Structure 1
C-alpha cells in the first residue's frame, strides 16, 4: 500500500520558490476574468520568490500545506486589519494549487491558520473574498462563515466588491 503524507507546517525560507509557484497558479485560476488582466499580472509579478522569502524571514504568519513532499497550498494570517470590526484575527490569504482543490485540503489549512490565531489569543476570525470569486464564497459559507460586511476595492481602474466572512470561535482540534 502506498501512503501519501499530508502535513501543515510553518513556512521556512527555503519554501519561497514553491510558495511563489502556488501563488502564481492559484491566483491565475481564481482571478482570471475577475481582476483586470494587466492588474492581475502586476499583482502576481510582485509576489515572486524574493518577496516570499522576505515575508518568511520577517516572521509573517505563514503556513504551508505539503502533499507528497511538495507545497501545494499556503495561508497567511495575523491580527485583524480592520479594528472597527469585532474580530481579533484575520486569515489574509488561503490558496491551493488548482489541481489540489476540492480534496479537503483548504478546510484543513483554514482550520490550522485559525488554531494558530487562537494560540495567540485571536479567537474570532475574519476573512475577505472577492464577491465575483464564487468558489471562495461557497468555501467560506460551507465552513460556517457569516457574511458580516461588504466593501469596495480598486484594482487598476475597476472597483470590485469584497465580502467579509466572520467566524466567532476558534476551531476545535
Structure 2
C-alpha cells in the first residue's frame, strides 16, 4: 500500500486563505528578531487572502506544498528581476511553516520550482535572502547556491543587506 503524504502543485484560487496563513507563520518564524516587530506585523498584514487572489489572477506562478493534505509551504517564481545578473529565472519567495522546516520539504519545493523554471526555458536561477537570515543562507548554500551579489532592502526607513545566491545553467559552471 502506498500513501502519498506530500503534494507539490500549482496554487489555485481556493488556496488563498492557506497561502496567507503559511505566509504569516513562515514570516514570523523567519524574521522575528531580525525585523522590528511592529514592522513585521505590518508586512504580514499586507498579504491577506485577497492579495494572493490578486497575485494568482495576474499570473504569478506559485507552487504549494501540502503535507497530509495541509498546506505547509509555498514558492513563487518567474523571470529574474535582477537584469544585471546572468540568471533568467528567480525564486521570489520560498517559505515553509516552521514545523515543516529541516525535514527535506524545502529541498523538494526548491527542486520542483527549479524544474518548472527550466520547463519555461529560463536558464540559471537566482534567489535573494536577507543577509541576517543565517538559516536561509545555509539552506541555499546546501542546495549548491553560490553568493552572486549583494543588494539592499529598506524596511521602516532602515537598510537591510540582501545576499543573492545563484545557480548557473545546468551543465555549465
- Who is 2:168 aligned against? 168
Does the CA contact (< 8 Å) of 1:78 and 1:89 recur in 2?
yes
Unaligned runs of 5+ in 2: none
Superposed displacement of residue 169, structure 1: 2.7
Does the CA contact (< 8 Å) of 1:118 and 1:170 recur in 2?
no
Distance 1:122 1:15 in 2: 26
Superposed displacement of residue 4, structure 1: 5.0
Q: Deviations over 1:104-123 (max 9, x none)?
A: 00001011111111111112
Mapped pair 1:87 → 2:101: no
Moved more, 147-156 or 91-100: 147-156
Mapped pair 1:114 → 2:118: no
- TM-score for the superposition, normalised by structure 1: 0.95
Q: Deviations over 1:20-68 (max 9, x none)?
A: 1000000000001111222211110000111011111222110000110
Mapped pair 1:35 → 2:25: no
Does the CA contact (< 8 Å) of 1:79 and 1:88 recur in 2?
yes
- TM-score for the superposition, normalised by structure 2: 0.95
Mapped pair 1:150 → 2:150: yes
- Who is 2:26 aligned against? 26
User: Alignment partner of 2:35: what SS?
Assistant: coil
Unaligned runs of 5+ in 1: none
- Who is 1:100 aligned against? 100
Distance 2:154 2:145 in 1: 24
- Who is 1:159 aligned against? 159
User: Alignment partner of 1:66: what SS?
Assistant: strand
What is the aligned-residue RMSD (CA, Å)?
A: 1.5
Alignment size in residue pairs: 171
Distance 2:63 2:147 in 1: 25
> CA 1:25/1:66 → structure 2, altered by over 3 Å: closer, same or farther?
same
Distance 1:21 1:160 in 2: 25
Q: Deviations over 1:136-157 (max 9, x none)?
A: 0000000000001111211112
